[in-house]
Chains A and B, each alone.
Chain A
């Protein structure tokens, strides 16, 4: 199972991260300051790093840019109390892979960690995605369920693509909004649910076993077994 390094100076937050990721079956190591964190991160034997933006001794941005300079491409999830878009842009520019604003729901954090890990393990560019009898041809931009072609709108196609790329993982509404629409604020309505409901009507036609599942309190998952 993956080994994760958590660099976080706030003990409560760190505890929350360690517990939640532990629940998901990850091995978590905790570094409580920037210098220690950087030293460990430079060893390069972690699968992922959760990194606080503001740290004593060495700042989060410095850590991530140092790692990238040394060609260490461990995925980094930046966690920060600064929700400013400029801050987010700075964090991502420095080499962070995702950005989460404090305070966060722990399952959101875990979901993002899983997506980052999955993205990393994906070998090369895929042209076809497959979950059970659902197929997505990224080149022909066509979706099939069994023998029938699904008539999807562009937005629905992107939704389905994201969910299939991260199948069997919990995907939160915020993650969907960020990746499909490309915006980083909370749309604050049940609109994502409406979009999913639509997609569901097309993908999970009566008679077939459903693939899209609601995860209560968190979001959705696309999976064969549930």
Chain B
């Protein structure tokens, strides 16, 4: 069984579906956690910004630059930004290099990038609150959100790895799970092949687990029982018809034969009687052939079993047919390798070979050639018998 077969099983598809579903759940869960956390962190930052703004707003214009410097010094983690800008945009105090464009001055908090005085070339992401003071100056308070962004980054990586690993494990697990059902299907296929070849007594394997395949096999087996029963019924009807007709036909033949013997010597009448008897004979022959088939099928004939040489039987059969082939100007030749003796019923085997040769001769035109060959099979103790017809 190959990957394509494995991947088509119900087990595989279910596992894959579940792992996709699981991945989705994980993504949603992580997403919710991230969102909640990010919102909470942002809320806190905003709260701090608002408080700081409220504190600085009441400080007098003259003392404000000092107060800002003090605040900057207190912030040892360097996560706060302060900026005081004159109405013309020039920096009065703080660690923000320039007043960012497009910041509303009404106290709304925005996330923008700032340029710090310590590193003026590197814009930093920050949440910023700006207010215009009574003096016309602009007070800007910001909070670094690098952490928040890094947290998001971690979350995204977690999404990616957990998702892909779940899917990978799902696929592998699914393949592993598919293996057993597929092996069962293979067993079932082999048995079905035997049944299709006419071995109607075969049954599908039923395991101990009572799983769905076992249930199906059970149903199919019950169906096969029924088919077998019907077949044998039909066959026995045919057999009994053949059997019942055979006795009156034989009696009919006996009467005809007696009549023929009492007819006297008139050649015309004799010929007619002979023709009638020949017809009855061919009828009887048909019935005998019919019954012979069921006889062979039904009987467990072991009494006739013995070690037999295939070659001897074949030679006998070929020599049996030689005169007939000669009469039809068909060339009948035989080649035989030495083969192992087999344990079997020589009579049935001879009959089978005779049927084969009979048909070969029947369907070979005059001048044709029938070649019978016997050779050792590839497997140990096996032999191959073949007839080839040419012309």
- A interface residue numbers (CB < 8 A to B): 12, 16, 20, 23, 83-86, 89-90, 102-107, 153, 155, 181, 183-191, 194-195, 197-198, 216-218
Contact = CB atoms under 8 A, between A and B. Distances in A.
Contacts of B288: 186, 188
Q: 4 closest Cβ contacts across the A-B interface?
A: A103-B250, A86-B303, A217-B277, A194-B323
B173 interface: no
Contact of B254 (A102, A105, A191, A194): A105
Contacts of B351: 183, 185
B323 A198 contact: yes
Contact of A216 (B247, B260, B319): B260
A106 B258 CA distance: 10
A188 B285 contact: yes
Contacts of B278: 217
B58 to A, nearest CB: 122
B164 interface: no
A216 B303 CA distance: 36
B324 interface: yes
A188 B362 CA distance: 13
Given A185-B292, A195-B323, A216-B270, A85 B257 contact: no
Contacts of B292: 185-186
A155 B319 CA distance: 8
B246 interface: yes
B235 interface: no
Contacts of A103: 246-247, 249-251
Contacts of A198: 323
B303 A85 contact: yes
Interface in B240-280: 246-247, 249-251, 253-254, 257, 260-261, 270, 273-274, 277-278
A105 B253 contact: yes
Given A105-B257, A188-B285, A191-B321, 8 more contacts: A83-B295, A84-B295, A89-B304, A103-B246, A187-B354, A216-B270, A216-B277, A217-B273
A187 B356 CA distance: 12
Interface of B: 246-247, 249-251, 253-254, 257, 260-261, 270, 273-274, 277-278, 281, 285, 288-289, 291-292, 295, 299, 301-304, 316, 319-321, 323-324, 327, 345, 347, 350-351, 354, 358
A103 B251 CA distance: 8
B220 to A, nearest CB: 34
Contacts of B270: 216
Contacts of B246: 103
Contacts of B347: 85, 183-185
A182 B323 CA distance: 18
A198 B320 CA distance: 12
Contact of B324 (A106, A194, A216): A194
Nearest to A199: B323
Contacts of B274: 216-217
A85 B114 CA distance: 108
21 contacts: A12-B251, A23-B261, A85-B301, A85-B304, A86-B303, A89-B304, A90-B303, A105-B253, A106-B254, A181-B316, A184-B347, A185-B351, A188-B285, A188-B358, A190-B324, A191-B320, A191-B321, A191-B324, A216-B277, A217-B260, A217-B278
Contact of A186 (B249, B251, B285): B285
Contacts of B319: 153, 155
A90 B295 CA distance: 17
